[in-house]
Structure 1
Amino acid sequence: MTDMPTGLIRRGGAYSLRRRVPMDLIVVYDGRKEIVRALGTNDFAEAKRSHARLWVELDEEFEARRATLAVDPDAHIKRKLAEIRPLLARNANRDEPSAEEIECQIEEAQFSLRMCLEEEGEYERRELPRQRLLALLSVPNHLLTPEEQALKDLISDARFDVEKAKSALAKRPEPVQSPVPARLPPARRTAGIGASFDDLIAGWERDRSPQVRTVAAHKAVAQWFVDRTGVSNVRLATADDVRTFRTRLIEEGQTAANIRTKLSRLRTLFGYACEEGIIDTNPAANIRPPADKRPGKARLPWSADDLNILFSGPIHSAGSRPIRGRGEAAYWLPLLALFSGARLEELAQLRRGDIREEPYEVDEETDGLAWCIDINTGPDGNNHVKNAGAIRLIPLHPTLINLGFLKYAQSNSDPNALLFPDLKPNGEDRHGAKWGEWFSTYRRSIGLNDSRKVFHSLRHTFKDYCRGSKLEERVQRQLMGHAPIDVGDTYGVGFGYADLVSGIRAYRVPRLATIAPPASSLG
């Protein structure tokens, strides 16, 4: 019998290393109790060599982490914050979602979050958790968990910044009151030096390094604003001007979604002007987009009948692979969306190594492994993810495994190889954009003509079936990459991968007919 080294396991034909994290380092590894690393080979001899080398590397890694923990117990939290902050900054400069991602656009609209929450009553309902967080300030650090200490640090830092700002404001001389000049007619209100929108956008582009398309979109919105208000001097713009701009757009028949996007971009530019000291307040900060009252505008989830039509079409029933469908992407992307809730681009940019096993605790005495989709920023940090909350693990649904998805994912042993190599990125490096256009054409060709039911609607469908399957709200939000309502619902902070595994295994799509596996999985 072949002598199998400790921690060398074989899953799906390929070898991996599985090693338990030392008890004193579990907190440094974000609560994970085991490390699983794919060795990228199905050859036993090669796997043994890779296993031995990686085992030594992990020994060294453990010692380094242990030394860091001894010097600074909160180092791992600071490291996580350092990783997340650049991601948030980078995503702040990205384009708003496309028309097929209205839900995501609403989720991330740069608007007054507190105002929205107060309207829904959510802000008041979180009063008790806020008081609990503030109570941490009076608790000695040695009585707190590392996560609680990190929260305490953040609250203290924020209070210090507020007091510092108040102190600086108090030292400023009182402004001299001057008569307010009458507002000039729009045609006479021209820009002063350094106060034009062109100057503002040039500075914003230099400091933020947005994509070329993003710059062009913001320049266009600025010109729209100037043309409709006559205000070309950033310093002279007021909230009334922004309201006038909104009114003009409504009168011109612009959709609520387009107006929302234009106001968001305008808000971004004025926000940058505030940061640079060009203006004191953002005139677009509290200007709401109009409500979309047109019937039939909202995206609709797919019904069971819709899904059965889709999965009985030529792609899934007859093995058809149109050129624009890009190979196996045509078969797997709709299924992955339905059984994971992931966004199109999150799926389109996946790599072989993003389909992996993740350990979890079955019970106090038993550990398990479950395959998952790892939504992350990619090996070079350039994957398109909406925000820090979108970085997540989604356990693979049994239906996907039964249809042969693991076999497909493991057909290439290179962990950095794209899972769907036929998907070519567009000018914005988005792998799913062109495919999404093809999918709209395909669904219409098989009789799915409702324009409110697009690929992104599968995400709505997943949400509805999560509710129907009685998944907890916190599990639903984690699976979909939504921000947690409570701090304790964050993965790794009182929240385990086991909860996600249980949730996915409980997820059901009622009345879904049997789906034929792809021909590639039958060999």
Structure 2
Amino acid sequence: MATTHIFRRGGTWWFVRGMPRDLHARFGSSHVRRSLRTADHRLARRRAARMTVAMDDWAEAVRKAIEDDPEQPDRALLLRLLGEAMERAESEAPLGRLRQEASELRSATAELVASREMARSTGEVIGRVTPIIGNYKEKAVRLRELEAKRAPSDEIAALRREMTEQMLSMRSLVINAHKERWSESRLSELLPAYLEAKAKTLKNSKHLSTLGPRIELFIQTVGDKPVRDYERADIETFRDLLDQTPSRWEARFRTKVISEAVAANAKRLRPHPAMEPKTIDDGYLSHIKNCFSWLETTRKIERNPGTGVVSGRTDPQQRPDEGRLPFSPAALSKYLAYAAQSRSRVSPDYWLPLLALYTGARLNELCQIEPQRIVERDGIWLIDLLTIYDRNEIDRLPEAERLKLKSAAARREIPLHDNVVSAGFLDFVHAGRERGGRLFPKLKADEFGYFSAAISKRLNLDIERAGAKSARVSFYSLRHNFRDALTNASVPDRTADRVMGHVIQGAQANYGSPLLEVAEIEAIRRIAFPQVDIAPYLSRARGGAAA
């Protein structure tokens, strides 16, 4: 798709846009020209989109200032901007002061506790070392007497051994004096308290069920020690074993002992591939490091020994957006053709690939929507994840049956693309309204309230069957395709974040309506996927096939 308002001069992209006629005199020129300071075409489009929004905001502000004070509009605009800045400053100042005071109070409390613990610990060590020093002095005097009397050598040697042992005892007491400030409870003893604390924050999350087993696996590997005795080397030992562990090791080798799985896999003629670094970092090591962070916060240990430990196969140069890659046009066409031709038009396996591509929604969001959430506003169809239709939902429904979204930012509107409508999706929705219940009633929630657990495996298997599978590509990659399409359509980043359910950073998150503006909706509906063939969906819609 052609991108407006940019052109290339030499090796650098520039932004150029005509100024509205009524503002020529105010700006002093008929056009805005500015270097985008990049040779990258995609980055240039994104920066140009930001500048387009900034120009529109400026023009609106100037016109409003002219209305407020025709004689001195610049003064009116300045006073308006200053007033808004003061309002933000006044609203943010009390909160900032409270945060600062709370931070200072926490620091002072921690310092007081630490100083008291140090004083108590030092006093205890002095009390234990003093008698040893006294006894050592007595033995030193005795040793000089024996040597002066030319006592038997074995008696002198025995006394020297006793003195050496006392010296080592004193040295150990002094060296461990600092460590003894911290908890001597074993990790297994503190694990229930940690799990109880996490249960309050994670509630019914699926992640809660994996915490205990992962930490127990760590204990099984490096031993159950007093928490103050764990060192970075222990975390790295666990990491090194994980780097050798085959994927799906528990199911494949029917064992709960990770070292047994590693040994059994090594004996295979064709060993199973090792777990992915991301699985190791996010599914194993993060649980261990989070546990030690809690121990540090609750002052059971001095510092987290796992900080910075990741899989040895994690690429430190990999960008965050390289964890998952979008489908190529050819692979995406294969997958859509397979889904359209081999799946029933009343099954979620048929509709979810197309919906994920053109909405960018998370799989679990699409799996649990009801027909009433497909709404029409001003002639435009939307998926409404914003409205709580049943005000008693929280009290009436068990947690596993409520609309489960990733965060508050995920409550949003998502425009339906014309291609989704042309594929017959609205007919499917109307049939769902008559039937009642969720749009995809055959999908059932798991014990944690997620509707996507089972079907995600089927969808990814379809990708393989279609011949569209490649490294770092999965069903989630459709969300990446959607994000790239927003960029290519010059959709502003703020609008893109809103429609994808991302948290909007900074003060701008506090402004504007949660409803999408008409201009935002139109910009999103302009997205396209060049060279991606959706004809199989359109032909089945025309044919009216239901099977």
Deviations 1:255-276 (A, max 9, x none): 3112212121113323333454
How far residue 316 of structure 1 moved from its aligned partner, in angstroms, is 1.9
> How is 1:338-487 mapped onto 2 (pairs within 5 angstroms)?
338-357=357-376, 368=378, 370-375=380-385, 379-380=393-394, 382-413=402-433, 417-450=437-470, 452-487=472-507
Partner of 2:332: 307
What letter is aligned with 1:435? I
- How far apart, in 1, do the equivalents of 2:364 and 2:422 lie? 24
Distance in 2 between the 1:255 and 1:445 partners?
Answer: 22
Matched residue type, 1:448: A
Cα distance change, pair 150–333 in 1 and its aligned pair in 2 (3 A): farther
- Matches of 2:513 and 2:304, distance apart in 1: 36
How far residue 433 of structure 1 moved from its aligned partner, in angstroms, is 2.0
Structure 1 residue 383 displacement after superposition: 3.2
Aligned runs of 1:21-100 on 2, under 5 Å?
none
Distance 2:199 2:491 in 1: 46
Residue equivalent to 1:192: 185
Q: CA deviation at 1:291?
A: 5.2
Asked if 1:165 is matched to 2:106, the reply is yes
- In 1, the alpha carbon distance for the partners of 2:422 and 2:197 equals 50
Q: In 2 relative to 1, CA 212–448 (structure 1 residues): closer, same or farther, beyond 3 Å?
A: closer
**RMSD across aligned positions (CA):** 4.1
| In structure 1, distance between residues paired with 2:290 and 2:434 | 41
In 2 relative to 1, CA 200–282 (structure 1 residues): closer, same or farther, beyond 3 Å? farther
Q: Is the 8 A contact 1:373 1:395 kept in 2?
A: yes
Task: Select which of 228, 246, 257 maps to 2:278.
Answer: 257
Spell out, residue by residue over 1:85-124, the C-alpha distance to the aligned partner (whole angstroms, 9 max, x if none): xxxxxxxxxxxxxxxxxxxxxxxxxxxxxxxxxxxxxxxx
Aligned 8 A contact 1:197 1:232 in 2: no
Q: Which residue of 1 aligns with 2:176?
A: 181
Q: Confirm or deny: 8 A CA contact 1:375 1:392 kept in the other structure.
A: yes
**SS in structure 1 of the partner of residue 243 of structure 2:** helix
Q: How far did residue 317 of structure 1 move?
A: 4.2
What is the rounded CA distance, in whole Å, between the counterparts of 1:426 and 1:499 in structure 2?
A: 39
- What are the ranges of 5 or more consecutive residues in structure 2 without an aligned counterpart? 1-81, 126-173, 246-273
**Which residue identity is paired with 2:356?**
A
User: Identity, % of aligned pairs?
Assistant: 23
Contact 2:424 2:541 survives alignment (8 Å): no
- Aligned match of 2:26: none
CA distance in 1, matches of 2:412, 2:511: 8
Specify whether residues 502 and 486 from structure 1 end up closer, same or farther in structure 2 by C-alpha distance, changes over 3 A only.
farther
Is 1:270 equivalent to 2:292 in the alignment?
yes
Letter in 2 for 1:223: E
**1:125-168 deviations in Å (ceiling 9; x for gaps):** xxxxxxxxxxxxxxxx9966987765444423311211222343
C-alpha distance in 2, partners of 1:447/1:210? 39
Give the Cα–Cα distance (whole angstroms) in 1 for the partners of residues 471 and 187 of structure 2: 45
Aligned residue identity for 1:512: V
Count of aligned residue pairs for this structure pair: 365
Is residue 197–residue 233 contact of structure 1 (8 Å, CA) maintained in 2? no
| 1:405 CA drift (Å) | 2.1
Q: Work out the CA distance in 1 between the residues paired with 2:371 and 2:88.
A: 32
1:331 maps to what in 2?
A: 350
**CA shift for structure 1 position 386:** 2.3
C-alpha change, 1:450 and 1:383, in structure 2 (3 Å) is same
Letter in 1 for 2:217: W
- Work out the CA distance in 2 between the residues paired with 1:244 and 1:415: 56
Per-residue deviation, 1:507: 0.7
- The SS at the match of 1:192 is coil
Tell me the amino acid that sits aligned with residue 351 of structure 1.
E
CA 1:425–1:205 in 2, change beyond 3 Å: closer, same or farther? same
Is the contact made by 1:239 and 1:283 (CA closer than 8 Å) also made in structure 2? yes
Contact 2:456 2:475 in 1 (8 A): yes
Quick one: which amino acid aligns to residue 431 of structure 2? S
- Kindly provide the CA deviation profile for residues 391-423 of structure 1, in whole angstroms up to 9, marking residues without a partner as x: 322122122122232332233447982111121
Task: Report which of the two structures shows the higher radius of gyration computed on alpha carbons.
Answer: 2
Alpha-carbon distance change, 454 to 276 in structure 1, aligned in 2, over 3 angstroms: same
Change (3 A) 1:233 1:492: farther
The one-letter amino acid of 2:381's match is: W
Aligned residue in 1 for 2:166 = none
**Structure 2 contact 364–451 (Cα < 8 Å) conserved:** yes
- Structure 1 stretch 157-166 or stretch 337-346: which is displaced more? 157-166
Look up the match of 1:58: none
Name the structure where helix makes up a greater proportion of residues: 2
Q: 1:282 to 1:355 in 2, by over 3 A?
A: farther
* Matching residue of 1:134: none
**Alpha-carbon spacing, 1:194–1:307, altered in 2? closer, same or farther (3 Å):** closer
* Aligned-partner SS, 1:516: helix
* Deviation by residue 1:286-345 (Cα, 9 ceiling, x = unmatched): 4445453599x95332122223223333x4247x42xxxx93312211111100111111
The answer to whether the 8 A contact 1:316-1:517 is kept is no
Structure 1 gaps of 5+ residues are 1-140, 185-189, 359-367
Instruction: Measure the CA separation in 1 of the matches of 2:408 and 2:502.
Output: 10
Aligned runs of 1:131-280 on 2, under 5 Å?
A: 151-169=92-110, 171-172=112-113, 173-174=115-116, 175-176=118-119, 177=122, 179-181=174-176, 192=185, 196-204=189-197, 207-208=200-201, 210-211=203-204, 214-250=207-243, 254-261=275-282, 262-280=284-302
In 2, distance between residues paired with 1:442 and 1:510?
23
Aligned to 1:22: none
TM-score normalised to structure 1 length: 0.59
SS across alignment from 1:372: strand
